[in-house]
Amino acid sequence: MNKHLISAADLSKDDALLILDTAEELARVSERSIKKLPTLRGRTVVNLFFEDSTRTRISFEAAAKRLSADVINFSAKGSSVSKGESLKDTALTLEAMGADAVVMRHGASGAPYRLATWIKGSIVNAGDGTHEHPTQALLDAFSMRRRLGNLEGRKVTIVGDVLHSRVARSNVLLLATLGADVTLVAPPTLLPVSVDTWPCSVSYDLDSVLPKSDVVMMLRVQKERMNAAYFPSEREYSRRYGLDRDRFARMPDDAIVMHPGPMNRGMEIAAEVADSSRSTIVEQVANGVTIRMAVLYLLLGGEI
């Protein structure tokens, strides 16, 4: 394993499987009445969040605390950062406090790589701009594996705003590493111009891909994209790329529906689909804590 987890590309197949297997073991711990392990006692994990993301921050916080780490939450709002402190000075401050790991969420793509040049601890990317969100991809893979078993050869369809999605980038890389067949579905405006160089297939037509999918992952589509002419209207997007009941019915019987949240019910996903038994959306949240425990545990070299 690398010292940091910044991109899903940092993970070899063995690394990825080790994280997933470790998460399986830790999941058993989570089922116990006392969930806490002493593994990271005395280690300090900093949650460094430059963007509001209560869900992800709480997930990392719960993961670190269940491993008995000391957790410091540093959010940009109301801190020295909002007074114009540079990323480098924030990094040097954390370094002086002796952070063993920094979990970072930042609005600028690549910010964790910059942070890594200034601090000695491990860095876990909790989402950087429109680049990557590798623990999301790991928890997605973990959720898929729990439902479907081995991911080798499994057909995963990812639908939505791929261009601006860090979740999509990390998922494409990780799923390719794990041997799944990924197909991206989006209006052409929401795909990078170079998407043909990615290790996946691309389609503009959701209906032709759905019947062949084992997993359909819907991405959040921000309504503001409409203003920049990425698509004409919410309704049109929903009609062409939304997972409604009719489309859901055309999926194979054992295929599952995923969404990294937060959802726009009625836009990219219908409420009935999101709440169906084949949706893993709530499991994904629970699995998020488990997978982040596994990542922190392996990066910080703890012992079970």
Least distance (Å) from another protein to the CB of residue 208? 24
Considering only CA atoms, give the Rg of the chain. Answer: 19
Q: At residue 155, what are phi and psi to the nearest 5 degrees?
A: -100, 115
Alpha carbon of 143 to those of 189, 217, 231, 304: distances in Å?
A: 29, 12, 31, 22
CB of 194 vs another protein, minimal distance in Å? 4
Least separation in angstroms between residue 142's CB and another protein is 23
- The window from 31-39, 85-93, 253-261, 293-301 that contacts another protein (CB under 8 A) reads 85-93
Q: Can residue 109 be called a binding residue for another protein (CB under 8 A)?
A: yes
State how far Cα 40 lies from the chain centre.
23
User: What are the residues whose beta carbons fall under 8 Å from the beta carbon of 193, sequence distance 6 or more?
Assistant: none
| Cα distance between residue 186 and residue 227, in whole Å | 17
Could you give the CA distance from residue 52 to residue 242 in angstroms, rounded to a whole number?
Answer: 26
Among 13, 55, 77, 88, binds another protein (CB under 8 A): 88
Residues in 118-137 that interact with another protein by CB under 8 A: 128-132
Question: Collapsing DSSP states into helix, strand and coil, what is residue 51?
Answer: coil
From the CB of 1, what's the least distance to another protein, in Å? 19
Residue of 17, 29, 108, 148 interacting with another protein (CB under 8 A) = 108
Site for another protein in 151-210 (CB under 8 A): 166, 169, 192-195, 197-198
The stretch among 24-32, 64-72, 109-117, 284-292 that binds another protein (CB under 8 A) is 109-117
Residue 148 or 195 with smaller CB distance to another protein: 195
CB of 234 vs another protein, minimal distance in Å: 22
Residue of 106, 145, 154, 220 interacting with another protein (CB under 8 A): 106
Alpha carbon distance 299, 19 (integer Å): 10
Long-range own/partner contacts, residues 243-247 (CB < 8 A, 24 or more apart)? 243/159, 243/206, 243/216, 243/218, 243/268, 243/269, 243/270, 243/273, 244/270, 244/273, 245/270, 245/272, 245/273, 247/206, 247/207, 247/210
- The set of residues, in sequence order, having a beta carbon less than 8 Å from that of 6 and lying 6+ positions away, is 112, 113, 116, 123, 124, 125, 128, 132, 134
Nearer CB in complex with another protein: 192/261: 192
The nearest distance, CB 231 to another protein, in angstroms, is 17
Q: Which is nearer to another protein, 93 or 276 (CB)?
A: 93
Contact range with another protein by CB under 8 A, out of 39-47, 72-80, 82-90, 266-274? 82-90
Which residues would be at the binding site for another protein (CB under 8 A)?
Answer: 86-88, 106-111, 113-114, 116-117, 128-132, 166, 169, 192-195, 197-198
